[in-house]
Amino acid sequence: MHKSASGSTLGPGGLDLTQAFFKPIANAAPPSTTKQHTKISVIGVGNVGMAIAQTILTQDLTDELVLVDTNADKLRGEMLDLQHAAAFLPRTKIHSSTDSSVTAGSDLCIVTAGARQIPGESRLNLLHRNLSLFRAIIPPLVRHSPDTTLLIVSNPVDILTYVAWKLSGFPSNRVIGSGTNLDSSRFRFLIADHLDVNAQDVQAYIVGEHGDSSVALWSSISVGGVPVLSFLDKQQIPYEKETLENIHKSVVDSAYEVISLKGYTSWAIGYSVANLARSILRDQRKIHPVSVLAKGFYGIDGEVFLSLPAQLGRGGILGVTNVHLNLEETQRLVDSAKTILEVQTQLGI
């Protein structure tokens, strides 16, 4: 086990540099005992985990960052590599350990660890291996940080968020999947590209499964506050539904394209998850399409996690936005939930 943290001692005698460098001012009071310290733990230091860690550091989202992995050498190497950039980053204590006890007192635990699919392996067998992995990861995190929020990034994210919820015993608002937050960013980028506008001026969501059965909410898309489809209808501007479907297909296929070109995705998911971390820890109350317990929404029955536009804050999921869906979108969302449930029921959890 390797663990490293900043210290104020130097040399074999343990000279206390704090006492040597700084002299207290007269009539000073001790530091406040009110907790203002923020701690984030990232579980898994693969390409995704490290992209998330790096983005969290550069965006100054935490006072303390913990990295956990079973590969001790890679773990220590990644920790040192980040620590060596200290002169270029906001001050953050960076620790690493193969022991999950280092995560104690975390405000947010981000889980990116997951088993890789073996060539020829069925999706169900892969899920069972990930279930075993989560049985080893989630309970210790809960034991060491009973008040934390769990943010699941590992794929298939919707099912593994459900697994994490069941294993943790947490209330549903404190178990969140990264879901379609990134898919929606890709969606907004493609629409902005078509209309030659800034993606930040596009309001658009992908909901449902983070995967092939995801649903594009075309009926609620707006640009600069103008509902796009109703505007086209009022102006009698023709558009082909096939064009809309192709944009959605590009969203679904975009991750596969990146993987085929560079072998994995990392930077976009890093920014996406850091964006979620900011909203949660800084109580931003922003709306994000993330994987939540969807039972009771839009006619969905059964305990299934899938992405819906939800308000995030310090308490995790604060509520789900009441977005209007047309009949076709509602049916597709229900079908997406059924797709997840069919696989989920085979896990026996």
Annotated binding residue 49: yes
Annotated binding residue 46: yes
Query: In b/e form, how buried is each residue of 224-245, taking b as 16+ CB within 10 angstroms?
Result: eeeebeeeeeeeeeeeeeeebe
State the sign of the Cα–Cα–Cα–Cα dihedral 208, 210, 215, 218. Answer: positive
**Of 171, 176, 203, whose CA–CA distance to 187 is shortest?**
203
Annotated binding residue 155: yes
Annotated binding residue 130: yes
Annotated binding residue 222: no
Spatial separation of the C-alpha atoms in residues 36 and 7, rounded to whole Å: 20
- Active site (annotated) includes residue 210: yes
**Is 112:53 a contact under the CB 8 Å cutoff?**
no
Annotated binding residue 153: yes
Annotated binding residue 48: yes
Instruction: Please name the residues in contact with 50: beta carbons below 8 A apart, sequence gap of 6 or more.
Output: 78, 266
Annotated binding residue 177: no
* Candidates 2, 95, 128, 210; catalytic one: 210
Annotated binding residue 77: no
Annotated binding residue 198: no
Annotated binding residue 263: no
Instruction: Please name the residues in contact with 206: beta carbons below 8 A apart, sequence gap of 6 or more.
Output: 180, 183, 184, 186, 187, 214, 215, 216, 217, 248, 251, 289, 307
- Tell me the binding residues for NAD(+): 44-49, 69, 130, 153-155
Residues forming the active site: 210
- Tell me the binding residues: 44-49, 69, 130, 153-155
